[in-house]
Structure 1
């Protein structure tokens, strides 16, 4: 969530809930107001032991005013988790030392867009995917002590599913949502066409479609499909000013990850 307050731009992480994906509760901000932090871009929520774990990033933009040109997060951006027992009350954010505890925070480098998923073969082993040198990957067994593994070519805003002995990775190139598949996290193959949904008819997303998060609800009798939540901005491009000034969250669905539907296939 991005807000203009007293002429300055702040980013927050907030929650909202729904029983039908149509009517949503008012947003509840769960992170502090601080331009030097700007907690944002939540990746996903996992169940770990007896807690819920939310992954998110900082996106520092100190001094950014609502009349200023587009400004991206500084090199101080890092990735974090928050903990909750009930999905309502959340802990103070904890820095993820994904390069290992022997690497100081100042030396970790800029990193954003975390997403945590359990290893498909080894239960209790958790992978954190994040944007740095393409997509980087680190693993942990306790979400506290991490070991860096590797990186691979990819766009940003990575999310990952594990299905049929494969990892399915969704990522954001310059525009749209791409899919890659891998059996071992080392060799990835592009799969399917670039997903742009109804962008050509949507003024609110003509600038860019990005940040597609996909969850598999195929076995849920109420939905029976994959659901994608995504970020749309427009009608201007990000460089022209609609980076987060005119930004929305959209929803789409699919039975096979190739053919997609959405609520209204018309402009606006």
Structure 2
């Protein structure tokens, strides 16, 4: 859906409110008129295609400068429209009108019906929202502080029998029920839109003034008066550069249809307010009965970021130096338990020995002591992927025997699979391709850093040799052959600085595969590329990953899992290198992202504060 009113010049529609009335949907919105602001009315049969059918013209002296920000409510067979006066600064107030047909309205003779009082505000009222619960009607709105700088929310209630008249309202707060406190809310919270579900009230609200950018957050309440944010991040952020809503995603209007389907209408633009458009997203509910949004055109989901859980994480999550150096992590979540498998690099008198270890956590904060899964001279390590096939867990890993006196493995390093029914008991590893790399483009038979995925009815195994990525294919996880015998799937000629690469992780994002990889360079970093067929890749680039102050040589070996349903984010585990410890020096860390492009690191927990 993309709707704007063009009757008075440039496309303009803001502040959406939708009801179902008279067998059709009615959309009320603010429109820009020469010298003033007004209210437009559009109708639709499907909530997507809208046709303008009218306007609400100013009809009283208090509306002379304009009317705006409509909130529609169907009650007792009529459309009740609540709106604000416009252009009067601190004297703007909320008004009410009623209609038999949704198009022609009769003003409430007691208008304006409400403006807040108290020393904490200057008496202004805009952005009305009404919610009827039993015999009580809740009125929400926005006001400013006495300096006219900070926008914040108030609430009043009245008996439904009071007819929404001025004398029926009682202000229910002596301070803001929500005020801007988070960075993304800047100096403004406005445009409350409320529904009730399973005994709890949910409020979608706009944070930030127009084009700050304005974005949409969510709060919850047990009584409609006292509210708590569900996240410190917006549920619906402004769009990326080039998107229609890059300047903002603002002023939400929630609508529950007769069939129970719930939609969130909102405004946006990408030109700092020269134009304004309206769109919508479907509101869905997760296993915890919390809302998330689904974009209709592509199914993209916007989830609540569980900031409380994420902010409790402290990096590095595992630092055992100098006795052991954890590297090359693989993260799996199953039945509420996170299992992190990793290479444990041990410094011995004769050189280095690699092992495969595991730690566990239920909250990403408190981790179990390491558990050794594999030991011995073959140096099993670098767990690169975990898939489910035939009811079994299948891990890809490498053997990495390091000759005495050396730092790195010799030509005998190979790829392996290891299987389990329960993630507790593992079968002995079996080799993928004992003869090693047979690709024509490779000089070495050495193969390390495997990552196995299922695609198009086959199994594909990425690996590193000669500093480039090869690709094996198998119909059954037993018989493997080179899928690209004459070229690497990704090589040094593909990276932005001609660096070699290793440690890949693959996941699906929409209709494409997304690969994360480690460039082999000083300062390391995280690279990405995209493909539809696993053979041909485009968009190879390095992420602008945040600096990891506890990793002297930067982040590397990224591995990403989808935790949007529970945490609202993609979760990355990586190792940060510190070669000052030894050539394998590293510790494990976590990061998260909403879009797989912009990543956030948690607070660093230093050894000085007691981290082991």
Residues 28, 75 of structure 1: alpha-carbon distance in 2 compared, 3 angstrom cutoff? same
Once the two structures are superposed, the pairs formed by residues 1-268 of structure 1 within 5 Å of their partners are 1-5=344-348, 8-34=351-377, 37-64=378-405, 71-97=407-433, 109-119=445-455, 122=456, 124-133=457-466, 134-150=468-484, 151-154=488-491, 155-173=501-519, 174=521, 175-191=524-540, 193-199=542-548, 202=549, 204-218=550-564, 220=565, 222-234=566-578, 236=580, 242-244=582-584, 246-264=585-603
Using the TM superposition, give the Cα deviation of residue 28 of structure 1 relative to its aligned residue in structure 2, in angstroms: 1.1
Partner Cα distance (1:113, 1:71) in 2:
17
Partner Cα distance (2:518, 2:389) in 1:
27
Partner Cα distance (1:14, 1:93) in 2:
14
Residues 144, 195 of structure 1: alpha-carbon distance in 2 compared, 3 angstrom cutoff? farther
Residues 206, 144 of structure 1: alpha-carbon distance in 2 compared, 3 angstrom cutoff? same
Where relative contact order (Cα < 8 A, 6+ residues apart) is larger, the structure is 1
Partner Cα distance (2:462, 2:596) in 1:
21
Q: Is there any run of 5+ residues in structure 1 with no aligned partner, and where?
A: 65-69
Q: Is there any run of 5+ residues in structure 2 with no aligned partner, and where?
A: 1-343, 492-500, 608-612
Contact 1:79 1:95 in 2 (8 A): yes
Using the TM superposition, give the Cα deviation of residue 62 of structure 1 relative to its aligned residue in structure 2, in angstroms: 1.9
Query: Any runs of at least 4 consecutive aligned residues in structure 1 with deviations exceeding 3 A, and if so which?
Result: 4-8, 265-268
Question: How many residues are matched?
Answer: 245
Contact 1:57 1:79 in 2 (8 A): yes
SS in structure 2 opposite 1:144?
coil
Residues 60, 255 of structure 1: alpha-carbon distance in 2 compared, 3 angstrom cutoff? same
Partner Cα distance (1:99, 1:33) in 2:
21
Using the TM superposition, give the Cα deviation of residue 161 of structure 1 relative to its aligned residue in structure 2, in angstroms: 0.7
TM-score normalised by structure 2 residue count: 0.38
Using the TM superposition, give the Cα deviation of residue 242 of structure 1 relative to its aligned residue in structure 2, in angstroms: 3.5
Partner Cα distance (1:166, 1:60) in 2:
36
Contact 2:411 2:444 in 1 (8 A): no
Larger Rg: 2
What's the counterpart of residue 67 of structure 1?
none
Partner Cα distance (1:28, 1:265) in 2:
24
SS in structure 2 opposite 1:16?
strand
Partner Cα distance (1:50, 1:97) in 2:
24
Residues 7, 192 of structure 1: alpha-carbon distance in 2 compared, 3 angstrom cutoff? closer
Residues 182, 234 of structure 1: alpha-carbon distance in 2 compared, 3 angstrom cutoff? same
Partner Cα distance (1:51, 1:144) in 2:
15
Residues 196, 57 of structure 1: alpha-carbon distance in 2 compared, 3 angstrom cutoff? same
Contact 2:579 2:586 in 1 (8 A): no
Contact 1:205 1:235 in 2 (8 A): no
Partner Cα distance (2:435, 2:346) in 1:
32
Partner Cα distance (1:251, 1:161) in 2:
17
Using the TM superposition, give the Cα deviation of residue 43 of structure 1 relative to its aligned residue in structure 2, in angstroms: 0.5
Contact 1:51 1:84 in 2 (8 A): yes
TM-score normalised by structure 1 residue count: 0.82
For the aligned residue pairs, the C-alpha RMSD in angstroms reads 2.6
Q: Deviations over 1:86-115 (max 9, x none)?
A: 101111110002889x99xxx980010001
Residues 225, 252 of structure 1: alpha-carbon distance in 2 compared, 3 angstrom cutoff? same
Residues 195, 43 of structure 1: alpha-carbon distance in 2 compared, 3 angstrom cutoff? farther
Contact 2:462 2:470 in 1 (8 A): yes
Q: Deviations over 1:141-196 (max 9, x none)?
A: 21101121122224110111122221101111121010000112232113554343
